[in-house]
């Protein structure tokens, strides 16, 4: 068991009810009546010791089936000097104990995604019987930098080809952060905060999708999390009803968890009965992976319907200790802790994350379950 999980067990124990009909809620972490326990170490069936296939996964549960959406690296080509990836899907019918083989569902295309599609989020719009994926995308020769692309599929299952939006990229680099950060007293700089990425589709309510995403200021090495809304993945609101019009998390919020914290990056959201819970990554030395870097996960909450601004102290953590730290604190292995994701399956609440051994040769996808004690 990772050292960090001993910390979780020491601080978090309990029972409660959330809108997910759970017998234990993340709220109980704050009252000391719940804890996370590791119940699995997920490996794909084709993986052998020392090999890692598709990774950086995000998850969705439908009809008791767990779906894992992952980046899969393709053969390097000259026009893609940074990343060359597609998205594959796997499924599990036994709560992550065993998994199917990979099925490609999104290939690099011609509109802003010629090199890479990765680090996205999936949502099933039941009323319209449509699956949506919003993901980071990169054009050939890295033109325009990281953007966001939208894909959809009308079928009962997401295990098949998705269709690229004709308007891809639906968000161009810096398009949203320049608006989020605009104005006096904002947490971020509208001229230098870019790289809309790691989108997380939180919910659809009132005819619009609520989505959180990260942004990065390369000049200052500062990273932020924001929230936006869209009815169709084409028109984007950054302020107005239910939106703060500013970053929701950033360097002003993470200093108590990480020394010299430079901000937050990816996040995964879960809506409970009274609170919205985010598990966020926080780090020092910038959002770009490097050596001698502290990189942790923390859980924070705010009342449902509220997205407090960064620095407002509207987000609270159970205590000053990180939720999860890396199991192998090797300073020479960058980004050893990555991509925490909630998995809600009926009354069961899980958290899964990637934990790399030194040298990034062995990957542990640690599956945790929230339990009462």
Pick the residue with more confidence: 7 or 338?
Answer: 338
- The 3-state DSSP class for residue 372 equals strand
Tokens 């894909």 correspond to what residue? 151
Mean pLDDT of 91-115: 97
Mean pLDDT of 67-88: 96
Task: Note the pLDDT of residue 14.
Answer: 26
Tokens 């990034």 correspond to what residue? 360
Residue 16 pLDDT level (bands cut at 50, 70, 90): very low
DSSP for 237-257 reads BSSSTT--SS-SBSGGGSTTT
DSSP for 106-134 reads E---SSS-SSEEEEEEEEEEGGGTEEEEE
Provide the token pair at 249. Answer: 């998390």
Task: Note the pLDDT of residue 6.
Answer: 28
Residue 17 pLDDT level (bands cut at 50, 70, 90): very low
**Rounded-to-integer distance, Cα 151 and Cα 67, Å:** 16
Provide the token pair at 339. Answer: 């991509």
**Rounded-to-integer distance, Cα 189 and Cα 194, Å:** 9
Checking if the pLDDT of 206 tops 70, the result is yes
**Rounded-to-integer distance, Cα 135 and Cα 201, Å:** 10
- Greatest Cα pair distance, the chain, in angstroms, is 54
Task: Note the pLDDT of residue 84.
Answer: 97
- Each residue of 265-298: pLDDT tens digit? 999 999 999 999 999 999 999 999 999 999 999 9
Percent of the chain at pLDDT exceeding 90: 91
Helices (H), ranges, 80-222: 177-180
The mean-pLDDT minimum among 44-58, 113-127, 329-343 falls in 44-58
DSSP state of 339: E
**Rounded-to-integer distance, Cα 181 and Cα 118, Å:** 25
Task: Note the pLDDT of residue 361.
Answer: 86
Mean pLDDT of 226-248: 97
Mean pLDDT of the chain: 93
Q: Regarding beta strands 295-303 and 275-284, do their DSSP bridges make them parallel or antiparallel, or are they unpaired?
A: antiparallel
Nearest to 202 by CA among 170, 243, 146: 243
Tokens 């926080």 correspond to what residue? 282
Q: Tell whether pTM > 0.75.
A: yes
Residue 163 pLDDT level (bands cut at 50, 70, 90): very high
Residue 373 pLDDT level (bands cut at 50, 70, 90): confident
Which residues, listed in sequence order, are joined to residue 197 by a DSSP beta bridge? 214
Is the distance from CB of 162 to CB of 105 less than 8 angstroms? yes
Which residues, listed in sequence order, are joined to residue 138 by a DSSP beta bridge? 116
The mean-pLDDT minimum among 9-13, 31-35, 56-60, 234-238 falls in 9-13
Mean pLDDT of 35-39: 98
Is the distance from CB of 316 to CB of 323 less than 8 angstroms? no
Question: b/e for 54-67, b at 16 or more Cβ within 10 A?
Answer: bbbbbbbbbeebbb
Task: Note the pLDDT of residue 50.
Answer: 66
The C-alpha R_g of the chain, in whole angstroms, comes to: 19
Provide the token pair at 94. Answer: 């036994």
| Residues 326, 254, 250: CA angle, nearest 5 degrees | 115
Checking if the pLDDT of 5 tops 90, the result is no
- Each residue of 302-333: pLDDT tens digit? 999 999 999 999 999 999 999 999 999 899 99
Task: Note the pLDDT of residue 10.
Answer: 28
Mean pLDDT of 60-83: 96
Which residues, listed in sequence order, are joined to residue 216 by a DSSP beta bridge? 194, 223
The mean-pLDDT minimum among 50-64, 97-111, 239-253 falls in 50-64
Provide the token pair at 346. Answer: 């009926």
**Rounded-to-integer distance, Cα 242 and Cα 211, Å:** 12
Residue 111 pLDDT level (bands cut at 50, 70, 90): very high
**Rounded-to-integer distance, Cα 112 and Cα 294, Å:** 33
Checking if the pLDDT of 251 tops 70, the result is yes
Domains and CATH numbers, the chain: 1-42+178-373 (2.115.10), 55-173 (2.115.10.20)
Mean pLDDT of 205-219: 97
**Rounded-to-integer distance, Cα 279 and Cα 270, Å:** 9
Half-sphere exposure of 367 (CA within 13 A, CB side): 19
């Amino acid at each position: 068991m990772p050292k960090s999980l001993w910390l979780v067990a020491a601080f978090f124990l309990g029972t409660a009810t959330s809108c997910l009909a759970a017998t234990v809620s993340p709220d109980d972490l704050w009252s000391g009546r719940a804890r996370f326990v590791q119940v699995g170490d997920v490996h794909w069936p084709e993986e052998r010791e020392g090999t890692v296939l598709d990774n950086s996964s995000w998850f969705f549960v439908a009809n008791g089936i767990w779906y894992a959406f992952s980046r899969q690296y393709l053969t390097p080509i000259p026009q893609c000097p940074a990343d060359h990836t597609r998205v594959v899907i796997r499924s599990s019918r036994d709560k992550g104990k065993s998994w199917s083989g990979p099925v490609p569902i999104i290939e690099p295309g011609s509109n802003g995604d010629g090199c890479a599609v990765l680090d996205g989020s999936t949502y099933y719009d039941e009323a319209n019987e449509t699956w949506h994926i919003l993901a980071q995308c990169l054009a050939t020769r890295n033109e325009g930098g990281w953007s966001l692309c939208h894909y959809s599929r009308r079928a009962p299952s997401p295990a098949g080809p998705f269709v690229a939006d004709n308007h891809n990229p639906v968000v161009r680099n810096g398009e949203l952060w320049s608006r989020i950060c605009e104005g006096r007293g904002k947490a971020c700089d509208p001229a230098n905060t870019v790289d809309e990425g790691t989108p997380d589709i939180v919910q659809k309510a009132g005819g619009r999708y609520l989505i959180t995403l990260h942004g990065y200021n390369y000049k200052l090495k500062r990273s932020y999390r924001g929230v936006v809304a869209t009815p169709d993945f084409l028109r984007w609101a950054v302020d107005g009803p239910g939106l703060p019009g500013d970053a929701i998390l950033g360097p002003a919020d993470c200093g108590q968890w990480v020394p010299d914290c430079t901000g937050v990056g990816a996040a995964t959201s879960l809506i409970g009965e009274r609170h919205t819970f985010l598990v966020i990554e926080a780090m020092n030395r910038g959002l770009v992976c490097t050596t001698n870097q502290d990189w942790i996960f923390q859980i924070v909450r705010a009342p449902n319907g509220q997205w407090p601004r960064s620095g407002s102290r509207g987000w609270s953590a159970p205590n000053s200790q990180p939720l999860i730290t890396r199991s192998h604190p090797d300073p020479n292995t960058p980004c050893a802790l990555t991509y925490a994701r909630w998995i809600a399956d009926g009354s069961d609440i899980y958290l899964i994350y990637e934990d790399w051994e030194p040298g990034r040769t062995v990957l542990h996808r640690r599956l945790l379950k929230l339990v009462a004690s």
